[in-house]
Structure formats: C-alpha cells, structure tokens
C-alpha cells in the first residue's frame, strides 16, 4: 500500500494512510470532532473565504455565503444531526435456508479518500465531499483547483491548523501534481470536473482498482411553456443561469420553447437580469467574472458573429461577459452535441450565454435531450402535469427540477450526481456517508442446530428436498 518513491507528495499520502491505519479516524467521537473542526474553519474565517472567492471569481459576499459557505455548513449540520443513526449497525434478515443465523450490516471507512475539485465552486466542491469522507471515518487528501489560486492557498494554510493530526491534507497544484497524486493508491477518489479529465482519473484509478465518484458536467436543458408564470419563471431561470457568471455545472445550458413564446421570454429575461444585476451588470458587486483568459476566449469565440437578443458585451481585460441571451433558429441537423449547427449547441457552455432554441413541442424537446449525452440536470417550467410526466418518464438526467433551477444542489437529503456522461455515483448527506463507507455484512451461524449439515455430503434425497424447500 505504501508508495514506491518518497517525493513530498508521496510522503503526504503515506502519512495520511499511516494515520488511517492507526485507527484514529474511526471512532464516532473523532468523526464528530473533525466535522466540528471543519465547521469552525469555515465559520471563523468566513471573511477570508469571501475575499479569496472575490479574488478568484469576483464572487460577491452574498453569493459566496449562499453557494459556497452556507451550503457546506448546512451539509455539516445535516451530517452531524444524522450521523450516529446512519452509522449504527443494522440488523439484516438471514434467509430461512441459513437458519438459525444472525446477520448485521456494519459500516466501515474505506481508508484514504482523494478529493479533486474544480475552480467554479472551489470551496463547496472541495469541502462538501470532505464532509462525507470524514463522517464515514476516512482520512482525506484534498486537491483544490489551481485555477482558483486564492481559495486554494487559503485552504492549504488553514487545513493544517484545524486538522493538526493530519487526517486532512492538502496538495496544491495543477496537472503534474494531480498526475503524481493519481499514481498513488487511494481507497476512493471523488473527482469534480470535465468529462475529459474524468476519463483520465478513472483510468488512473483502474490501475489500483480504486472506486470513483465522478461529478461531471454536460448541457443541462430547460423546457419552458408556463405562460401564466412567465415573469417568475424567467427570474428563476436568469438567476440559475447567470449566478457565478454561468460557471455552474448545473446551470441551465439552453432553453427550449415554442417559437411563439420566444419574444415574451426574452423580454421577461431582460427584466429579470436588470432587476437582479442592474442596467449595467458590469458595475454590480453581485455579478461574477470569467475565471481566466482561456475560458474568456473560448466563450467570446462562441459569440463571434452571433447577434445577441440580450447582452453580448465582452471585455477581455476584466474577463467580463454580460448576461447574454441568443435565440437560435430550428435546424434539421441534430439539435445538440458535436454535430449541431450552432457552436453554442455543440458543447457545454459553462459561461453566461443562454441560447433559446425553438422547437415544435415538449415531445420534440424530449427528443432533442435524448439525442445526446444524458445531462446533469433538467429544468421544466410548465403548469401541465402531463408535460412534467413526459420529461420525468421519457428523458434521463442526473436530476429533474420543476419550476426552478440549481436548488437540488442545496438539498442535503437528496443524492447529487450525474448519469451516463454527466457522472458516476452521487453524494450529499447520507449518500456521501454511504459512498465513502463499506457496508459490511456480518453473519453468525451458531454451532447448535447444525442445519449446515444438510448442505454437506454425503447428500440424501430427503435432506436436499428439505433445503430446496427452505430456499
Ligand atoms: P477540469 O476537469 O479541467 O479540472 C478539474 C480538476 O482536475 C482540477 O483540480 C485540475 O487541476 C485537475 N486536472 C485538470 N487537467 C488534468 C489532467 N490532465 N490530469 C489530471 N488532473 C487534471 O474541470 P474545471 O475546468 O475545473 O471545471 C469545469 C468542468 O467541471 C465543467 O465540465 C463542469 O460542468 C464540471 N463540473 C461539474 C460539477 C458537478 O458537480 N458535477 C461541478 C462543477 C463543475
């Protein structure tokens, strides 16, 4: 299990393993203590976290609290409230064929969990999986994103103070460091990021037969036909899309509606944007920036030659892209995916550009969704139960949310994860605890009333008949 050479990074992982092997992460009191330490780290340094998020992403304090700090604190509280119940050994049924026997399910930690996080929610997506890993009694190694350097540095500075025994360790860095980390043996890897890197992670994990949770992305669609709730729906849609300047894995990626609804929807989206971020969102303290020039250039290229119905202004020096809405005509080629006619429909946008695609009906929208990779989330704004059922039953996605966007991420009682190309496995709350635990069946068969003899040679016809009946 120990690593072949002794680079500082190998040493970090080896020490985390040694601590785990010492048994110190396992007792319930130790788990609870570590969750409290994590809570204290966030609560005592909230202004520092807000400042780091502002530096990295121009994330205003309100958004930083809501989408990064509070959501992680809520996950910790939820876990502290329920952990003892989740972790209690549970009696399990022993089948009649094995009687007399007793069965229990006992949970045990997996070992050392590696968490690799992206830059877009650099606190939440690093520390939320950590909550589950610690709750399950594991040690952890955290790899924050190098593209959110202020947050990465802050976490690397604070973690050793709050986890002085080394149950949680931080390795900072980019591709070389992550590659080196992935060569080590872990007992579980949680990766949040792109499908391309997800494949690299899974290949590396396969070498050690390490299980993975892959939280990936994709194009999360929206269906809209709720004319009666137009303004409310548009506000929720604009909020879900333009929070963090659209750099959210579950951000609505594109909207589908019928052609007649588009003008009113565009007007309502414009009202909502102005209401939330003002006439000029560039001057709003609540509107984010694109993380770096590379992402800015990618997004600006998507807009090149396209006339925006709303927004469209780009400023490279500030990495600012206005909340932008683009209407896209109906086309006969595959509507989304690499073959799509419009560049905005070929890949995950991951920025503040919202294409509206005209389709004939909800049925056609479902076909569009089913025409490419399964998305991470699907948002349906309709007043018709039949339409809700259509999307729930005839499409597949990580989650479905009706009449809102993003909010399922904050529901600690629900599993959060993708399906197919949008991810493998799920976490949050009990699902995190489950993902980072091994549920071990423990069976006891008393020596007296030795019914096992019936399954042992020499077999008799009567004995076999009896066992068959029991089974
Ligand atoms: P990314 O895949 O580029 O990077 C994620 C992490 O992988 C970083 O820590 C990075 O250092 C590391 N990494 C990058 N290249 C690597 C390589 N070649 N080898 C090893 N490690 C490497 O993702 P990103 O750009 O930070 O985030 C954007 C993507 O993440 C989007 O696709 C988005 O949808 C997805 N995402 C998903 C979720 C989710 O919860 N499902 C949340 C946020 C983002």
407-431 pLDDT, tens digit per residue, is 999 998 999 999 999 999 999 999 9
Q: Residue 2: its pLDDT value, please?
A: 44
Pick the catalytic residue: 63, 68, 180, 249? 249
- Which residue has the least CA distance to atom 19 on ligand 1? 175
Q: Ligand 1 in contact with 267 (CB < 6 A)?
A: no
∠ Cα 32 116 395 (to 5°): 100
More confident residue, 305 or 391: 391
Ligand 1 mutation target, pool 57, 124, 142, 197, most atoms within 8 A of CB: 197
Calculate mean pLDDT across residues 3-8: 64
The pLDDT assigned to 259 comes to 94
pTM tops 0.85: yes
What is the rounded average pLDDT of the residues 452-464? Answer: 87
Report the distance separating Cα 136 and Cα 195, nearest Å. 27
| pLDDT mean over 173-197 | 97
| Catalytic entry in 63, 180, 215, 348 | 215
Tell me the per-residue pLDDT of 81-102, one tens digit each, with 9 for 90 and over.
Answer: 999 999 999 999 998 888 899 9
| C-beta neighbour count of 244 within 10 angstroms | 25
Confidence of residue 469 (pLDDT cuts 50, 70, 90): confident
Q: Measure the CA–CA gap between 104 and 91, rounded to whole angstroms.
A: 4
Distance CA 469, CA 326 (A): 67
Rounded CA gap, 391 and 374, in Å?
13
Cα distances from 143 to residues 3, 136, 172, 264, 304, in angstroms, run: 18, 19, 6, 45, 35
Check whether 1 has a pLDDT greater than 50. Answer: no
Average pLDDT of the segment spanning 452-471: 85
Q: Is residue 244 lining ligand 1, measured as CB closer than 6 Å?
A: no
Spacing, Cα 120 to ligand 1 middle (Å): 9
Rounded to the nearest angstrom, the distance between the alpha carbon of 418 and the centre of ligand 1 is 15
- Kindly give the number of the ligand 1 atom that is closest to the alpha carbon of 291: 25
What average pLDDT is seen over the chain?
A: 95
Question: Is position 215 annotated as part of the catalytic site?
Answer: yes
What the block records as the tokens of 88 is 């209690």
Cβ(250) to ligand 1 under 6 A?
no
Residue where the block lists tokens 């909020």 = 239
pLDDT digits (tens, 9 = 90+) for 268-284: 999 999 999 999 999 99
- Ligand 1 centre distance from Cα of residue 464 (Å): 57
pLDDT of residue 331: 65
> What is the CA(193)–ligand 1 centre distance, in A?
3
33 SS3 class:
helix
pLDDT tens sequence across 47-75: 999 999 999 999 999 999 999 999 999 99
Structure tokens at 1: 């299990």
Going by alpha carbons, the residue nearest to atom 13 of ligand 1 is: 175
Task: Find the 165 Cα to ligand 1 centroid distance in Å.
Answer: 29
Q: Scanning the structure block, which residue is given the tokens 């955290």?
A: 142
Q: Atom 11 (ligand 1): residue with closest C-alpha?
A: 174
Task: Give the model confidence (pLDDT) of 322-352 as tens digits.
Answer: 999 999 876 666 689 998 988 999 999 999 9
């Amino acid at each position: 299990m120990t690593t072949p050479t002794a680079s500082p990074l190998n040493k970090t992982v080896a020490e985390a393993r040694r601590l785990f092997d010492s048994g110190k992460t396992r007792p319930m009191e130790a788990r609870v203590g570590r969750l409290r330490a994590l809570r204290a780290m966030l609560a005592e340094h909230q202004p520092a976290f807000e400042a780091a998020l502002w530096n990295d992403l121009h994330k205003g304090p309100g958004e930083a609290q809501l989408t990064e700090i509070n959501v992680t604190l809520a996950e910790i509280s939820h876990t502290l409230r329920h952990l003892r119940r989740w972790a209690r050994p549970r009696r399990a049924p022993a089948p009649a064929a094995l009687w007399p026997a007793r069965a229990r399910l006992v949970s045990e930690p997996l070992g050392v969990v590696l968490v690799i996080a992206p830059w877009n929610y650099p606190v939440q997506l690093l520390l939320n999986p950590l909550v589950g890993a610690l709750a399950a009694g594991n040690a952890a190694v955290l790899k924050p994103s190098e593209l959110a350097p202020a947050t990465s540095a802050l976490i690397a500075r604070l973690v050793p103070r709050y986890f002085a025994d080394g149950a949680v360790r931080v390795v900072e860095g980019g591709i070389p460091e992550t590659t080196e980390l992935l060569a080590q043996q872990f007992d579980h890897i949680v990766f949040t990021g792109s499908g391309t890197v997800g494949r690299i992670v899974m290949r590396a994990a396969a070498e050690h037969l390490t299980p993975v949770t892959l939280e990936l992305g994709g194009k999360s669609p929206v269906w809209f036909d709720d004319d009666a709730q137009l303004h409310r729906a548009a506000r929720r849609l604009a909020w879900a899309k333009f929070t963090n300047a659209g750099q959210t894995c579950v951000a609505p990626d594109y909207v589908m509606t019928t052609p007649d609804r588009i003008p009113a929807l565009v007007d309502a989206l414009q009202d909502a944007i102005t209401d939330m971020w003002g006439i000029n969102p560039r001057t709003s303290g609540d509107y984010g920036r694109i993380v770096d020039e590379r992402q800015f250039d990618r997004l600006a290229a998507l807009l090149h030659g396209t006339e925006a119905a709303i927004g469209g202004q780009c400023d490279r020096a500030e990495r600012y892209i206005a909340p932008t809405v683009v209407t896209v005509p109906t086309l006969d080629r595959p509507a989304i995916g690499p073959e799509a006619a419009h560049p905005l429909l070929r890949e995950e946008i991951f920025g503040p550009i919202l294409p509206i695609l005209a389709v004939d009906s909800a049925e056609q929208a479902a076909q569009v969704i089913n025409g490419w990779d399964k998305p991470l989330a699907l948002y349906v704004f309709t007043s018709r139960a039949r339409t809700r059922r259509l999307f729930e039953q005839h499409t597949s996605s990580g989650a479905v949310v009706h009449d809102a966007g993003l909010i399922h991420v904050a529901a600690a009682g629900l599993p959060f994860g993708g399906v197919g190309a949008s991810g493998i496995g799920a976490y949050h709350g009990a699902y995190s605890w489950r993902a980072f635990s091994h549920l071990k069946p423990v069976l006891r068969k008393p020596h007296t009333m030795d019914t096992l003899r019936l399954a042992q040679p020499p077999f008799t016809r009567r004995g076999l008949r009896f066992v068959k009946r029991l089974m």
